[in-house]
A and B are shown apart, each in its own frame.
Chain A
Amino acid sequence: MDNRIETTGTTDVVDAAMERYADGDEAAFGEVYDALAPRLLRFLTRQTRSVGQAEDLLQETFLNMCSARASFFRGARVTPWAFTIARRLLIDAGRKSQRQVPIARDADIESDPPPSRSPRGDQMVEAREIAAKVEVELGLMPEPQREAFILVKVDGLSIAEAAEVLGISPNAAKLRAFRAYDALRASLGDMLDKEWL
């Protein structure tokens, strides 16, 4: 589980870029895209198990943001808004296809070549094994806990941002993410990186 990202400092930059885009600076769109697209695509790909479908949903997310840029008010945060639009599109897509969209495993969506057997390669293999086990455990969790955990620990949202995306209080989001972490720790024990604490 090495894809946790640091967001400190980037949120202000993307919010400022969105401000400029809302004011008519077309070039700022690229900055908004560069800051948000990788995170949104990871979020969408994990949920859809299809890179193609995730890219389509990513495009729709950005188109919704573009058409509504005039409503972006000064001082607002763009990240929770973008994630909530993506989540809404995901839910609608799931309803349309009349099936529950299962959480994807990295093996289903990544097609990287197998790592070499060097010491560094061994570390990568171990990391992938842990990631795969985490994915399995996440798949067994109740949906609300899994969502909160992924948004906070994988997609790098703050508790407050995750709470906004999920439409719950920050305390509830924190509790859900903690319960998910607790369940992971119970089943994976020491394999789980101390960093998750």
Chain B
Amino acid sequence: MNLSPDLKSRIAAAAKKEASPTRASARRSVLLVSIAAVLFAAAMFFWLGGVHTGDPNNPTGPIPDRPLSFICGTVIGWSAVAAVAMWAAFSRGNSMLGRRWQWLIAVAIVTPVVLFGWMFLWNTQFPETMAEYAGRRGFRCLSFTLAMTAWPLVAISYVRRERNPSAPAAAGAARGVAMGAVAGAVVDLWCPIAGPAHVLVGHITPIIILMGLGAVTGRLLTGVRR
């Protein structure tokens, strides 16, 4: 197969015009976004009052303190699941093509199920935490999670400068879920309610939303472009 003489120079010229940061500059950008995301999340967390074990001032009736062992158990469990999900979603194995779509979809689907299951397991050990409270359906937790996670998800997808020709949407979905799980551990410290319905709406639903956002972001920002 003969290459036309000017093809190389044409492609080289087009490549020079293409915005293509080096590895070092992309690494710096990822680091900056990560630091900004952590600082932003910490600022929000403390601005909203930090750790809440209960809420005696709840307008529809006081919310009793959650037992310390319950808080530790749920937060440590969520953190462990989030750490595994981060590794599974962000590491690419030993290939530029990243992990297979089946693996990524499994991460995206299994993670929220495991998180909910873990929380429910602790609910069964402490039945008083099953209580639901009127007016506290979980929309605040949902908003908090999304506010902490949505923009870093998009920003990191952009600055990592990946091109995933195999499964960009699945990779994005898995990353959205993993970042949502990390935020969920923080929100679990802040939120005094642990009833299953509240957890589903306030803690699991944002992870599902982030899965969708990640899929769209992955397809648009890390998919192969024409």
Contacts and interface: CB of A to CB of B under 8 A. Distances in A.
Contacts of B162: 68, 71
Interface of A: 3, 22-24, 26, 29-30, 33-34, 37-38, 41-42, 45, 55, 58-60, 62-73, 75-78, 80-81, 84-85, 87-89, 92-93, 164-165, 167
Nearest to B29: A70
Contacts of A24: 22-24
B125 interface: no
Interface string B59-76: 000000000000000000
B57 interface: no
Given A3-B1, A75-B94, A85 B25 contact: no
A33 B11 contact: yes
Kindly name the residue among A24, A69, A73, A77 whose own CB sees the greatest number of chain B CB atoms within 10 A. Answer: A69
Nearest to B7: A55
A89 B226 contact: yes
Contact of A33 (B8, B21, B23): B8
A85 B165 contact: yes
A77 B96 contact: yes
Nearest to A46: B1
Interface string B15-46: 11011111111110000000000000000000
Contacts of B22: 22-24, 69-70
B52 interface: no
B165 A71 contact: no
Given A68-B20, A69-B23, A93-B226, 8 more contacts: A23-B22, A24-B23, A29-B15, A66-B20, A75-B94, A76-B95, A76-B96, A167-B167
B109 interface: no
B97 A84 contact: yes
Contacts of B160: 70-71
Interface SS of chain A: helix
7 contacts: A33-B8, A34-B8, A68-B162, A69-B23, A73-B92, A85-B163, A164-B97
Interface of B: 1, 3-4, 7-8, 10-12, 14-16, 18-27, 92, 94-97, 100-101, 160-163, 165-167, 224-226
B12 A33 contact: yes
Contacts of A33: 8, 11-12
Contacts of B226: 60, 89, 92-93
Contacts of B4: 55
Nearest to A38: B1
Contact of B96 (A30, A55, A80): A80
B37 to A, nearest CB: 19
A102 B194 CA distance: 58
Contacts of B21: 70
Nearest to B30: A70
A70 B25 contact: yes
A55 B11 CA distance: 10
